[in-house]
Chains A and B, each alone.
Chain A
Amino acid sequence: MRVLTEAWLVIALSVGFGAGLAGVHAALRDRIRANQAAEIRAQIPKLVPGADAGRSEEVRPGVFRALDAGGRPVGWVLQGKDQGFADVVQILVGLDEEGGKLTGIYVLDNKETPGLGNRIEEAEWRAQFAGAPAREPLRTVKGAPSGPGQVRAVTGATISSETVTRIVNATVAEWRKSRAAGKD
């Protein structure tokens, strides 16, 4: 019982702080979610050329139908996430109407190493995903890519780069499966 006489303060604080944080989370959760939803919506026109942020609609959680100003379908925006080097990486994947080519990606959230892994969010690195083939899985390579479907890893951040490629592949595969099943 020595642990209780010695560490009661730590235990009490853990419970108290935990409850306090749960309260803060409950109070701010909706606001933070609304901010994230607005960020995703603002990214749709940047990910799918010709798409209109206001007209596009979320057909089911994480799957957005990109529509142009006239309401015609121009592509898809898919949300995906997976464990990265440090924490969960969340990205948006832009896809053309037929699902044949990627139109771009955007890193919504990452806590990868500053200066190394977090360079996956830089526009210059993300640009290589625009126009990449979407029917076969992409592969991460070190150094210059030798053909389509290859993604150049950020130097010194192979794990973070592979995480992004893995999320893209899994998200597109998932979308294709549910589309074949006639869900969208």
Chain B
Amino acid sequence: MTTDGGPSAMKRFVNGILPENPVLRQILGMCPTLAVTNGMKPAMTMALAVAFVLVCSNVMASLLRPFLKPHLRILVFTLSIATFVTIADRFLAAYVYEMSKALGPYVPLIIVNCIIISRCEICASKQGLGPAVGDALGQALGCLLAYAAMGTVRETLGNGTWFGIRVLPAGAWDPWVVMLLPPGAFLTLGLLLGVVNWADRRFSRAAGDRK
């Protein structure tokens, strides 16, 4: 139960996975979705970096919410997000240098990722710590699942591997290199959004029939 009138932590968590999935339903954070999902390794590194920043900035925004002034709140959010992104960026450079080089500008660009600032604005600055953390974890998981779906399709079809492990035999599969390139990103995202919308319509109709 929450005392702030907003959805509970559990509800926030579940919403982030599919009903309000940041990538597939809110269509936010398209830049990393398209740019770093040509392999599972960069996609999952990006998803974990986003998760870290989401949780930290939601916690920060929730703790600071009694002191937020309406006209200065965005500044406070941006300041917190930029700080946590820089921390994530430095940790990647220190411990997974190759991956940090491969992701290039997309890690610093998490600062301007609307998924994060929208969660500060919609949830964390209005609700307590529990719902804020539940919300961040749900949105992060939703984001991770969407990146995993993109990464799986693009890496398996484009390179015959998954997480760098060969899944399609080298001789039997002629890799669709286009899947690793920008057009492959748009094709995969478009089809994925189509499937999600189709499934949503179908299942909500089925739910309606039962009533």
A residues apposed to B, CB below 8 Å: 6-7, 9-10, 13-14, 17, 20-21, 24-25, 28, 31-32, 35-36, 39, 111, 114-115, 118
Contacts and interface: CB of A to CB of B under 8 A. Distances in A.
Interface in B81-132: 82-83, 86-87, 90-91, 93-95, 97, 101, 104-106, 108
Contact of A32 (B67, B68, B90): B90
Contacts of A6: 69, 72
Given A24-B87, A24-B90, A9 B104 contact: no
26 contacts: A6-B69, A9-B64, A9-B69, A9-B72, A9-B76, A10-B76, A10-B79, A13-B79, A13-B80, A17-B79, A17-B80, A17-B83, A21-B83, A21-B86, A24-B91, A28-B90, A28-B94, A35-B94, A36-B97, A39-B97, A111-B104, A111-B105, A114-B35, A114-B104, A114-B105, A114-B106
A118 B52 CA distance: 27
Given A21-B86, A114-B105, A9 B94 contact: no
B97 A35 contact: yes
How big is the B interface, by class?
Answer: 20 to 34
Nearest to A17: B83
Contacts, number: 57
A165 to B, nearest CB: 22
A112 to B, nearest CB: 8
Nearest to A118: B104
B199 interface: no
Instruction: Identify the 10 closest CB pairs spanning chains A and B, nearest first.
Output: A35-B97, A17-B83, A28-B94, A31-B94, A32-B93, A32-B94, A28-B90, A9-B67, A111-B105, A24-B87
B105 to A, nearest CB: 5
A81 to B, nearest CB: 16
B83 A28 contact: no
Nearest to B31: A114
B75 interface: yes
Interface of B: 35, 64, 67-69, 72, 75-76, 79-80, 82-83, 86-87, 90-91, 93-95, 97, 101, 104-106, 108, 182
B68 A9 contact: yes
Contact of A21 (B87, B95, B106): B87
Contacts of A111: 104-105, 108
Given A13-B79, A24-B91, 5 more contacts: A9-B67, A10-B79, A13-B80, A20-B83, A39-B97
A118 B106 CA distance: 12
A13 B76 contact: yes
Contacts of A10: 72, 75-76, 79
Nearest to B83: A17
B171 to A, nearest CB: 27
Contacts of B80: 13, 17
